[in-house]
Amino acid sequence: MNKPLILVGGGGHAAVLTEIINSLQHTLLGFTDIQPSDDNTVLAGLDFLGNDPVIFSSHHPDEVSLINGLGSTGDTKQRTTLFNRFTAKHYRFTDIIHPTVCLSPSVSYGQGLQILAGAIVNTGTQLGDNVLINSRALVEHHCTIGDHTHIASGAVLCGSCHIGQSVHVGAGAVINQGVTIGHGAIIASGAVVIADVPAGNLAVGVPAKNRPHAR
């Protein structure tokens, strides 16, 4: 039997996930956040359980599964930290895959995968833990995507790309076939990446130019 779920985080990404979870008829106990409940207006109607540590004090890892409610708009540190904080205490994160997603049966993935409406993930691709593939993104064949990486809405990864851990690939960006993106890199929205991006770099523009980022 599926365990009841708790959504960790109460912003816009969490609101999108809530609709999917409800449509899949999972039991959602409520959400936690670092903010007081008054600030969580987008999740009106869903029970606010308290600040994130309430999970440790009130819900044993055997009794609930978690959902990472944090997206990213530039760096992925918060969603990476959240996942590591709870898995270190033996909590598990549930996969959320929208019914319209086209996911090749040959794709392998870790825990806590999220793939949102209209996304496609093609043959032979390997996804790590806590990967987020946002609405209408396209991940072509034989890509690898590291833990905690976010492929934002409408981004395109051509075949055999290698994307490191905790990378943000911005909305509508295109990564050419065979390109490698290093850990912690940020790809700006709309960038067209035609060459490798070193770890910790920001790639911006068409064609994209790289520079270190301080995030």
Ligand X SMILES: CC(C)(COP(=O)(O)OP(=O)(O)OC[C@H]1O[C@@H](n2cnc3c(N)ncnc32)[C@H](O)[C@@H]1OP(=O)(O)O)[C@@H](O)C(=O)NCCC(=O)NCCS
List residues with catalytic annotation.
Answer: 162
User: Considering only residues 15, 119, 152, 185, which one is a binding residue for ligand X as defined by CB under 6 A?
Assistant: 152
- Per CB under 6 A, the segment of 18-26, 98-106, 141-149, 187-195 that binds ligand X is 187-195
**CB within 8 A of 187, min separation 6: which ones?**
155, 167, 168, 169, 170, 173, 175, 181, 193, 197, 202, 203, 208
Q: Nearest 5°: phi and psi at 68? A: -75, 110
Distance CA 65, CA 92 (A): 6
For ligand X, the binding residues in 39-68 under the rule CB under 6 A are none
Give yes or no for residue 153 binding ligand X (CB under 6 A).
yes
3-state SS class at 211: strand
Give yes or no for residue 188 binding ligand X (CB under 6 A).
yes
CB closer to ligand X, 118 vs 124? 118
CB closer to ligand X, 11 vs 159? 11
Query: Considering just the CA atoms, what is the radius of gyration of the chain in Å?
Result: 17
- Per CB under 6 A, the segment of 14-22, 27-35, 41-49, 186-194 that binds ligand X is 186-194
How many Cα atoms sit within 13 Å of 208 on the Cβ side?
28
Least distance from C-beta 191 to ligand X, angstroms? 6
Q: Summarize as ranges the residues that interact with ligand X (CB under 6 A).
A: 73-74, 134, 152-153, 170-171, 186, 188-190, 204-205
